[in-house]
Structure formats: structure tokens, C-alpha cells
Amino acid sequence: MNEQESHSSNPLEQLLQLLGTLDPIDMAGKAVDLTRKTSESLLLVLENFASTVDNLNKTTSRINTLLDEVEEPLRRIMPQVGNAMNAMASMGEVASQLGDLTKRLGPLTSLAENAGGLFGFRPNKSSTATSSSPQTE
């Protein structure tokens, strides 16, 4: 019967036995330690976050200062840059028109050289090398 006494079926006695094995002071100490560690970790996270926000604010102010210094001169320069680009495009068109003109004047140059030969004028060798008659094909 000794075994039956140690293994009683009374739930109240079993609950009291379980509670007897628990140490409330040890559990409270562990809970306080865990709370302290959690609080320290939370404070560290908040400090890192505050540092990050501070760095972002400094970076934002530096970018704003840089934009304030650069923006106005850029606003002044951009119309001139646009005009220069338009002028470059116009120069390209003029160059292509001059190329077309020299191609079209090739036969006239050739005719003038031949007519000059009829009147006794001979082009010197440097002018024949620069003649535009070879361009007419």
C-alpha cells in the first residue's frame, strides 16, 4: 500500500506536490532578469534608430544645401546649353548644305576649267588637286 500512498489519485494533492517543486523566488528572479535583458535590448535598438534618424537628417540637410548651391546656376546655364545644342544642330545642317552645294557646283567648276583652257588659262597643279571636279561622279 506504500505505492498507493505515494501515487495518490487525489488531484488536489498532486497539484500541491507540483507547486511544492516550483520555486517562486527563482522564477521571479528569472523573470526580472529576462525583463532587464529585454529592456536593455529595446533601449539599444531605440538608440540605434535615433542615431540612424540623426544621420539621415544630417544627410538630408547636406543634400538640401548642395542643391541650394547648385540649383540656381544650373537654372541660369540650362537655356544657354539648350541654345548651344540647337546651334550645333544648325551648324550640322549648314555643313550638309555646303556639302550638297559643292557636289552641285562640281560640273560648273569643271566647265569653268575647260573654258579657261580655251582662253589660254592653265590651272596650276595645286588648284587641280583641290579641284572639286573629281567629286562629280
Cell numbers given for 102: 559643292
Measured CA to CA, the distance from residue 50 to residue 48 in angstroms comes to 5
pLDDT at residue 20, rounded to an integer: 74
Most confidently predicted of 14-18, 73-77, 107-111, 113-117: 73-77
Give the pLDDT mean for 83-100. Answer: 88
Whether the predicted pLDDT of 37 surpasses 60: yes
Q: Are 132 and 102 in contact (CB under 8 A)?
A: yes
Measured CA to CA, the distance from residue 73 to residue 136 in angstroms comes to 51
Whether the predicted pLDDT of 13 surpasses 90: no
Q: Please name the residue that has the C-alpha cell 528569472.
A: 30
Q: Are 106 and 135 in contact (CB under 8 A)?
A: yes
Between 16-25, 26-35, 114-123, the lowest mean confidence (pLDDT) is in 114-123
Give the pLDDT mean for 33-62. Answer: 96
pLDDT at residue 6, rounded to an integer: 55
Average pLDDT, the chain: 82
**Dihedral of CA 6/11/13/18: which sign?**
positive
> H or E segment at 98?
helix 24-118
Whether the predicted pLDDT of 117 surpasses 50: yes
Domain boundaries, the chain: 22-105
More confident of the two residues 85 and 52: 52
Helix (H, G, I), strand (E, B) or coil at 124: coil
pLDDT at residue 57, rounded to an integer: 97
Cell numbers given for 106: 562640281
